[in-house]
Amino acid sequence: MALKEFNDLADFSAAQVQAMLALAARLQQRPEPQALAGKVLALLFLSPSLRTLSSFQAAMMRLGGGSFVISPDMSIHGLETRSGIVMDGVAAEHLREAIPVISSYGDALGIRAFANRVRLEDDLADTEYRAMRELVRIPLINMESAIQHPCQSLADWKTMDELGVPKNGGKFVLSWAWHPKALPLAVPSSTLHMAAMRGMDVTVVRPDGFALPQPIMDKARKAAETSGGTVRETSDRKEALEGAHVIYAKEWSSTRHYGDRVADARLREDLQDWRVDDPWFATARPDCRFMHCLPVRRGVAVTDRVLDGPRSVVIHEAQNRMWGQMAVLYQMLGPGA
Amino acid sequence: MALKEFNDLADFSAAQVQAMLALAARLQQRPEPQALAGKVLALLFLSPSLRTLSSFQAAMMRLGGGSFVISPDMSIHGLETRSGIVMDGVAAEHLREAIPVISSYGDALGIRAFANRVRLEDDLADTEYRAMRELVRIPLINMESAIQHPCQSLADWKTMDELGVPKNGGKFVLSWAWHPKALPLAVPSSTLHMAAMRGMDVTVVRPDGFALPQPIMDKARKAAETSGGTVRETSDRKEALEGAHVIYAKEWSSTRHYGDRVADARLREDLQDWRVDDPWFATARPDCRFMHCLPVRRGVAVTDRVLDGPRSVVIHEAQNRMWGQMAVLYQMLGPGA
Amino acid sequence: MALKEFNDLADFSAAQVQAMLALAARLQQRPEPQALAGKVLALLFLSPSLRTLSSFQAAMMRLGGGSFVISPDMSIHGLETRSGIVMDGVAAEHLREAIPVISSYGDALGIRAFANRVRLEDDLADTEYRAMRELVRIPLINMESAIQHPCQSLADWKTMDELGVPKNGGKFVLSWAWHPKALPLAVPSSTLHMAAMRGMDVTVVRPDGFALPQPIMDKARKAAETSGGTVRETSDRKEALEGAHVIYAKEWSSTRHYGDRVADARLREDLQDWRVDDPWFATARPDCRFMHCLPVRRGVAVTDRVLDGPRSVVIHEAQNRMWGQMAVLYQMLGPGA
């Protein structure tokens, strides 16, 4: 049956994810350049993008279809997002029209909209994305919302499979990394869930004040129960890194001071040693991999020598964005869908 | 015979428009994803766009072809449009080169260039668009010029056909609507002509000072004579709306003060009640539709309750942009063209 | 054997260039709209573009493939290019990730990066482009670097062939032209080499202080030795233009004051008569052509009457960009490649 929505790996069983990855591998090995002939993917970017922008366009082209890209600056003076407003200001068009219109030209729609980072409960509930979803009547792909980034997780799962990183018994360390700004929770949340769902022993290591929200942890623990994995959180980096198969670095906001950028900035001021460097791998497994979703600030979140060294698989992850998304699009729009 | 230009519905007979719409319906029902294989549509946007930008790209993809988009900010420091000028300022390229170059890569070209709104006679004569047209040697589509928007009119005609809005005897009210700025005459002019050509009884209702220019009215009256329709203009809104099958709202400039933005602004200051709202439909037909070409400012030109209510067919109109344009492109570049 | 890199005409024999042009002519006459089905060209523009942007997209579409475009403003706050830097400033992504990532989605990559115009030796060595090239593992096309513009040269060669401009014995005058700014050396260098390689008698005419760098002249002389052409340089415009088959105008930086924009500006101040005009053709051959790579500033580098007159073949040159590039792409990615 055709896939209608790709929003959260948690909406699928591990077997369904494996089937998607098998399809991705098949399309990678045996191209089907006519599979989506005449099909159109509409791409709405309310936040900037490089990998997602490129990889979705490339994915459609490799399957014989096409895509078009819309962002607010293409409309006249931008797109209004607030509801119930009298639009006598700058914006000449509202998302309530823009989304149905764009959707009406596509066979599927992708939406990217980063977290507002004002109220944690809104971002955890993915309020903005869910409001947009109500306006869509065609298959929909979450290209990163306030709390989800399922395409990244699919790519990361595929990457670990290809590298032979064990599922049950594999030790996955998701580490907070330094960054000058308070970034969203979408990638850490999705990554945690993905690793738990893959059956791994997951440790989230982060400084005090940056604990992942309870609902995120609970959801991941539930996934781990099913998969045979485990989930725990600590601020003890030394202990966390021991025996790791994977160190996955990600920058994120203080959850203690969520939405308060001044307090967040003060808290992260002294955390610049949360920069992944060679010594982090001293007690990890010899073949421990370094993962990151990109973009990454060199010399800030991670040193050049790690990023340029043999442990780093960040380009491999990025490339798998395309193959994973091809599988998603094929399940949505391909033959038999 | 292949279509060479799509600039003005008035260049076609009603039967020719009907044939185009029949082709659009056929392509909508029976996709032809190879019809334009290897064909290229060049798209030049000198003014911003969302629907036109998306729907032309999607149209080409659904027919197996492709398109590329050029706007002035893609060239080095923009495109010069004035003729006979010494280009020692900012712009490094002139439209006189840009248009032939872009055309040379395409099998057809679309141009969008909004009205300058300086001199009414220039905009009525479509001076700027006509100057560009002289530079083009391939089939050309007007994607909205100073006074034409034929793709919108084609989509609107199709929408009314699909909704069963009567031709002869159908009452079409084109109403001025409030907006903080002085917008172009392209849509009201094209819409008036389309409805007249479709054989409808057309009433243009607008405040004093916003009468449509005489040449536009005369042209529409001539079309009505052929089609069996009628055309009239009034400022009495109450009387105009009685028995309407369609209320089509559009914002436009004061024609009394054309090009004088201060006087225009003063004139529209007190006209904020020209905001389409439920009471406007009180004496209309029970099944009266609300139409608008979009983008529309919510709470300004029309209330949320009309736009979100069952009378509104604005998304239907927008979607028909794509199907109509596919027919145009097919007649220009498709098999047998 | 498949083409792996298109960077410099000097990497090919004249016979190989002729074969490419024969392929271009074949694709122009007998379209192959399925040749690159499912193939993807990644396009990275670190500098602005109109012709290159359009013609590469159109080229891929005509062969049944597709392309996507990335520029720094699409990433979050731009792309960092400096190496070894701590990225705690504005840019959130480094080219060292961006290039491999983009490449991983494509079957071939095109890169445009204009000269920095700081140190002449860096630009002559194409330092920045070569550093990027190290990051690429797929076929690579130079879409204009500090010192190369091979796609332009291929198009110009094709244009002269089609116009019957003689190879041996053909007199090619590459003339400096006035411009308010200090432009790169890529086009004059590539053009000089192309004409020498084509076997023509090439004269570079330029004001004092604008001599082309010795390594560029030496390389062209070597090509001329093989091809039976000649290469010389002069500041005597009157003498240079006598008997010319082609006057090819190009604006470029002072090489005496390379990187010193103040001194360059002072030097060019009095050179505004280096504006190509009808009298320049007085002693040239009657059928002498005017060539320019575009964009060109009208009334600055060349007068309107030359540009709009019968000698000008600038649009022909621009169109040949597409056909030439189709041959390059076909040799890289097409059947048998």
Q: Which of B28, B39, B51 to mutate to test the interface with A (most CBs of A within 10 A)?
A: B51
Mean pLDDT of all residues in chain B? 96
Any CB–CB contact under 8 A between A71 and chain B?
Answer: no
Asked whether the whole model's pTM tops 0.95, one would answer yes
- Taking the CA of residue B71 and the nearest CA in chain A, the distance in Å comes to 11
Overall average pLDDT of the B63-80 stretch: 87
Query: Which residues of chain C does B75 touch, with a Cβ-Cβ cutoff of 8 Å?
Result: 48-50, 295
Q: Do A289 and A278 form a contact (C-beta atoms < 8 A)?
A: no
pLDDT tier for residue C185 given thresholds of 50, 70 and 90: very high
Any CB–CB contact under 8 A between B314 and chain A?
Answer: yes
CB contact under 8 A, C50 and B74: yes
Q: Is C28 left (phi over 0), alpha (psi -120 to 50) or beta?
A: alpha
- Phi, psi angles (nearest 5°) of residue A93: -145, 150
Q: How far is Cα A275 from Cα A296, in angstroms, rounded to an integer?
A: 11
Q: Look at residue C220 in the predicted model and tell me its pLDDT.
A: 98
Write out the E strands in chain C: 5-6, 40-45, 66-70, 79-80, 93-94, 108-112, 140-142, 171-176, 201-205, 230-234, 246-250, 289-291
Assess whether pLDDT exceeds 90 at residue B78: no
Assess whether pLDDT exceeds 90 at residue C130: yes
pLDDT tier for residue B292 given thresholds of 50, 70 and 90: very high
Q: What architecture does CATH give domain C5-148+321-333?
A: 3-Layer(aba) Sandwich (3.40)
Q: Look at residue A336 in the predicted model and tell me its pLDDT.
A: 82
| Structure tokens that stand for B218 in this block | 């005369």
pLDDT tier for residue B117 given thresholds of 50, 70 and 90: very high
Q: Which of C30, C45, C50, C296 to mutate to test the interface with B (most CBs of B within 10 A)?
A: C50
- Phi, psi angles (nearest 5°) of residue C2: -65, 140
CB contact under 8 A, B96 and C49: no
CB contact under 8 A, C50 and B80: no
Q: Which of B71, B85, B88 to mutate to test the interface with C (most CBs of C within 10 A)?
A: B88
Q: Do B186 and B216 form a contact (C-beta atoms < 8 A)?
A: no
Q: Look at residue C7 in the predicted model and tell me its pLDDT.
A: 98
| pLDDT more than 90, % of chain C | 93
Residues 6+ apart with CB under 8 A from C109: C41, C42, C43, C44, C99, C102, C103, C136, C138, C139, C140, C141
Minimum-distance CB partner of C88 among A63, A294, A297: A297
Q: How far is Cα B302 from Cα B249, in angstroms, rounded to an integer?
A: 8
pLDDT tier for residue B276 given thresholds of 50, 70 and 90: very high
Residue A246: helix, strand or coil by DSSP?
A: strand
Query: Which residues of chain C does A294 touch, with a Cβ-Cβ cutoff of 8 Å?
Result: 93, 97, 101
Q: Mind listing the pLDDT tens digit for each residue in C144-168? A: 999 999 999 999 999 999 999 999 9
Enumerate residues 173 to 202 of chain B having a beta carbon within 8 A of any beta carbon in chain A.
180
Identify which of A156, A249, A244 has the alpha carbon closest to the alpha carbon of residue A194. A156
Minimum-distance CB partner of B97 among C33, C55, C294: C294
Assess whether pLDDT exceeds 90 at residue C274: yes
CB pairs under 8 A between B and C: 102
Mean pLDDT of all residues in chain C? 96
Any CB–CB contact under 8 A between A205 and chain B?
Answer: no
Q: DSSP for B206-256? A: --TT-PPPHHHHHHHHHHHHHHT-EEEEES-HHHHHTT-SEEEEE----ST
CB contact under 8 A, C55 and B97: no
Q: Look at residue C298 in the predicted model and tell me its pLDDT.
A: 96
Q: How far is Cα B207 from Cα C236, in angstroms, rounded to an integer?
A: 69
Q: Look at residue A1 in the predicted model and tell me its pLDDT.
A: 75
Q: How far is Cα C56 from Cα C58, in angstroms, rounded to an integer?
A: 5
CB contact under 8 A, A97 and B296: yes
Domain boundaries A152-317, corresponding CATH code = 3.40.50.1370
Assess whether pLDDT exceeds 90 at residue C336: no
Any CB–CB contact under 8 A between B333 and chain C?
Answer: no
CA dihedral A267, A268, A274, A276 (to 10 degrees): 150
Q: Where in chain C is the domain with CATH 3.40.50.1370?
A: 5-148+321-333, 152-317
Q: How far is Cα B157 from Cα B175, in angstroms, rounded to an integer?
A: 17
Greater confidence, C186 or B78?
Answer: C186
Q: Which of C36, C74, C297 to mutate to test the interface with B (most CBs of B within 10 A)?
A: C297
Distances (CA, A) of B332 to A20, A199, B107, B140: 41, 57, 9, 9
Q: Mind listing the pLDDT tens digit for each residue in A186-240? A: 999 999 999 999 999 999 999 999 999 999 999 999 999 999 999 999 999 999 9
Report the b/e string of A267-291 with b at 16+ CB within 10 A. Answer: bbeebeebbbeeebbeebeeebbbb
Identify which of B268, B309, B312, B314 has the alpha carbon closest to the alpha carbon of residue B295. B314
- Taking the CA of residue B326 and the nearest CA in chain C, the distance in Å comes to 18
Chain C touching partners, 3 or more CB pairs below 8 A: A, B
End-to-end CA distance of chain C: 6
Q: Look at residue C289 in the predicted model and tell me its pLDDT.
A: 98
Query: Which residues of chain A does B318 touch, with a Cβ-Cβ cutoff of 8 Å?
Result: 97, 100-101, 104
Q: What is the value of ipTM here, to two decimals?
A: 0.96
Domain boundaries B5-148+318-333, corresponding CATH code = 3.40.50.1370
CB contact under 8 A, C70 and A50: yes
Query: Which residues of chain A does C86 touch, with a Cβ-Cβ cutoff of 8 Å?
Result: 298-300
CB contact under 8 A, A93 and B296: yes
- Taking the CA of residue B62 and the nearest CA in chain A, the distance in Å comes to 4
Q: A93: part of which helix (H) or strand (E)?
A: strand A93-94
Q: Which of A87, A107, A333 to mutate to test the interface with B (most CBs of B within 10 A)?
A: A87
Q: Look at residue A73 in the predicted model and tell me its pLDDT.
A: 78
Enumerate residues 10 to 69 of chain B having a beta carbon within 8 A of any beta carbon in chain C.
37-40, 42, 65-68
Assess whether pLDDT exceeds 80 at residue C77: no
Q: Do B185 and B258 form a contact (C-beta atoms < 8 A)?
A: no
Minimum-distance CB partner of A54 among C38, C42, C80: C42
Q: Where in chain B is the domain with CATH 3.40.50.1370?
A: 5-148+318-333, 152-317
Q: Look at residue A83 in the predicted model and tell me its pLDDT.
A: 86
pLDDT tier for residue C83 given thresholds of 50, 70 and 90: confident
Q: Which of C27, C68, C144, C315 to mutate to test the interface with B (most CBs of B within 10 A)?
A: C315
Any CB–CB contact under 8 A between A80 and chain B?
Answer: yes
Minimum-distance CB partner of C295 among B37, B66, B76: B76
Query: Which residues of chain C does B72 touch, with a Cβ-Cβ cutoff of 8 Å?
Result: none
Residues 6+ apart with CB under 8 A from B134: none
- Residue in chain C closest to B43 (alpha carbons) equals C54
Cis ω for the linkage preceding A286 (within 30 of 0): no
Residue C29: helix, strand or coil by DSSP?
A: helix
Q: DSSP for B113-162? A: -----S-HHHHHTTHHHHHHHTT--S-EEES--SS--HHHHHHHHHHHHH
Query: Which residues of chain A does B326 touch, with a Cβ-Cβ cutoff of 8 Å?
Result: none
Q: How far is Cα B89 from Cα B81, in angstroms, rounded to an integer?
A: 13
Low-confidence ranges of chain A (pLDDT < 50): none
Q: Look at residue B90 in the predicted model and tell me its pLDDT.
A: 86
Q: Do A125 and A58 form a contact (C-beta atoms < 8 A)?
A: no
CB contact under 8 A, B93 and C294: yes
CB contact under 8 A, B295 and A66: no
